[in-house]
Structure 1
């Protein structure tokens, strides 16, 4: 079991144990500041269990006609669109999420990837957050 966890931590792989549709997930880390490093956001996340998978969500705003194409591209990397509130402006809120283990490097890479995706589709990447089940208190 330790070898499997180590392999996944080093090389990635399917992280499907955590169901992103669970209703008990809480935000354990987030950053909506373009200049804040992911390492800083993760260090500030006192409730984050770094040894467990999390649902990483990217909050984007895209023109309605670009949403399908952007979601298709994100889907190649395992992202799925989650439900969001209705659009109040020209840009529609889009929430892309996937289950993965969080560390500063992968979080930074994914944030950059989503910022590029949003930009190529005439949108904005507002930030990201991560959800996990609440930790059991001893």
Structure 2
């Protein structure tokens, strides 16, 4: 099922699915989900001062395609469950942070890197809103946000 700019499911009618298949899409089965091994990073930013609009404009991101928006946070190890529970209220799930080629410094003592991701359409405004939401989540749990990534399926 397709997702909107806020990650909420959007129902598609039978005709929309049929036209999508005729255009070469494979329907609902083609929606990326967090943790898909075939997704590639099409945009990323580990600089708090960079505008999402600039990062997205200079990237391989495809505006009309569904994507996975992934945020990398560094939080105290004892706060992982609380952060995951809060993020889950907005459709985020914890995914493996081991493959993220972001900041290279190791987490500080007692800190853990956590990646939170959800499927949604991405645009600069909503990406910025989610960055802000993650910054607040990190700060409430004595952590920090390291960066964000947009992942999509590679172009065939």
The interval holding the TM-score normalised by the smaller chain is 0.7 to 0.9
* Counterpart for residue 37 of structure 2: 23
* Counterpart for residue 78 of structure 1: 91
The root-mean-square deviation of aligned C-alpha atoms, in Å, is 2.1
TM value normalised by structure 2: 0.75
Report deviation, 1:89. 3.2
* Counterpart for residue 48 of structure 1: 61
* Counterpart for residue 123 of structure 1: 143
Structure 1 gap ranges (5+): none
Q: Deviations over 1:60-96 (max 9, x none)?
A: 00001111101100000000000234x7532100000
- Flag the 1:88–1:117 CA change in 2: closer, same or farther, 3 A: closer
Map 1:1-138 to 2 at 5 A. Answer: 8=4, 13-14=8-9, 17-45=31-59, 47-85=60-98, 89-90=108-109, 91-136=111-156
Q: Equivalents in 1 of 2:97, 2:56: separation in Å?
A: 24
> Per the alignment, in what secondary structure is the counterpart of residue 119 of structure 1?
helix
> Per the alignment, in what secondary structure is the counterpart of residue 9 of structure 2?
coil
Structure 2 gap ranges (5+): 11-27, 99-105
Q: Alignment length, in residue pairs?
A: 128
Larger radius of gyration: 2
